[in-house]
Amino acid sequence: MMNPLRVVIITTVVAFFVIISNAQPLPPARPDGFVYTNVGRVDPNPVAIEAFLDPVCPDSRDSWAPLKLAMSHYGSRVSLLVHLLPLPYHDNAYVASRSLHIANLLNSSSTFPLLEQFFKYQDKFYNDQTKNLSKAFIVKEVIDFATLAVGNSLQPQFQAAFSDIRTDLKTRMSFEFSTSRGIYGAPGFIVNGFVLPGVGSPIDYNGWRKIIDPLVAMKRM
C-alpha cells in the first residue's frame, strides 16, 4: 500500500534511521533476509528474486501464494530471498517482524511457516481490533502465536529473545536495508537487482510468468 502521505511519513522515518545509523557504522554479521528453500537441484546462476514483505500487510499476504506457485514452477531456475519491511503505519508490524527474526534464530525451519501463519491469521494483529491493547499484551500474544510454529519447548528462549537488544537491532536493520534498496512499500520485489515497478501491489501468477519466462529463456542463449 502506498499513498503520498505515507511516502512523506516513510521519508521522515528513513531520514531518522539514517541519522541513527550514522552512530552505528559496523555492517551486520550476516546479510539481511531469509533464504527460501526451493524444490529441485541448485542452479549455480538462478534468476534472483528478492521479496520485501510486511507480515501484517494484506497486500503482502496476497502476493505470497502466487509467488510460491511461481517458485515451484521454476524450481532451481529461480532463487528467493525474503526481506522484512515492517511498515510504520501498520500497527504491530514491528513486533511481528521481530518475532520472525527470533524464530529464524531459534528454529530456522519455522521461519516460513510462521510467516504464513501471520498471513493466515493477519486479522488477529492488524490495526483496529488491537487498538485498545497494550504493547506488553500484544508482545505476549505474539509470543504465544509464534510458539505454535517455532515449537512449545522454545517458549522461554523466545520470550527472552524479545528482551534482547540484538533482535531489536536485526529488525531495525531489515527496515533500513529495505528502504536503502529503494523499497518504501510492501510488497516490493527486486529481480536480478532491478526494482520491479508497482511497489505496494501484489503480482499474480501470470504476472510472474511474464517477468520470469523471458529471463529464463535469455539465460539459455
Ligand X SMILES: *[C@@H]1O[C@H](CO)[C@@H](O)[C@H](O)[C@H]1NC(C)=O
Cα-Cα end-to-end distance for the chain: 38
Q: Which amino acid is at 74?
A: Y
Nearer to ligand X, 131 or 135 (CB): 131
For the bound state, the minimum distance from the C-beta of residue 136 to ligand X, rounded and expressed in Å, comes to: 17
Nearer to ligand X, 88 or 113 (CB): 113
User: Closest Cα partner for 170 from 28, 19, 12, 18?
Assistant: 28
- Residue 113 and residue 179 in contact, taking contact as beta carbons nearer than 8 Å: no
Question: Which grid coordinates are listed for 120?
Answer: 493466515
Cα-based distances in Å from 203 to 133, 159, 197, 198, 218: 33, 35, 10, 9, 22
The radius of gyration computed from the CA coordinates of the chain, to the nearest angstrom, equals 17
For the bound state, the minimum distance from the C-beta of residue 122 to ligand X, rounded and expressed in Å, comes to: 16
Q: Which amino acid is at 133?
A: L
User: Closest Cα partner for 208 from 216, 17, 121?
Assistant: 216
For the bound state, the minimum distance from the C-beta of residue 207 to ligand X, rounded and expressed in Å, comes to: 30
Write the binding mask 2 to 31 for ligand X: x where contact by CB under 6 A, - elsewhere: ------------------------------
For the bound state, the minimum distance from the C-beta of residue 105 to ligand X, rounded and expressed in Å, comes to: 12
- Give phi and psi for 190, each to the nearest 5: -120, 125
For the bound state, the minimum distance from the C-beta of residue 132 to ligand X, rounded and expressed in Å, comes to: 4
Q: Which of 107, 171, 174, 178 is the binder for ligand X (CB under 6 A)?
A: 107
Residues 140-179 that bind ligand X (CB under 6 A): 149-151, 153-154
User: Closest Cα partner for 101 from 182, 19, 168, 181?
Assistant: 168
Interface with ligand X, residue 132, by CB under 6 A: yes
Interface with ligand X, residue 109, by CB under 6 A: yes
How far is it, in rounded angstroms, from Cα 50 to Cα 80? 6
Write the binding mask 41 to 80 for ligand X: x where contact by CB under 6 A, - elsewhere: ----------------------------------------
> Which part of the chain contacts ligand X (CB under 6 A), choosing from 60-68, 85-93, 107-115, 162-170?
107-115
Q: Which of 110, 171, 178, 179 is the binder for ligand X (CB under 6 A)?
A: 110
Q: Which amino acid is at 129?
A: Q
For the bound state, the minimum distance from the C-beta of residue 134 to ligand X, rounded and expressed in Å, comes to: 12
Catalog residues that contact ligand X under the rule CB under 6 A: 107, 109-110, 113, 128-129, 131-132, 149-151, 153-154
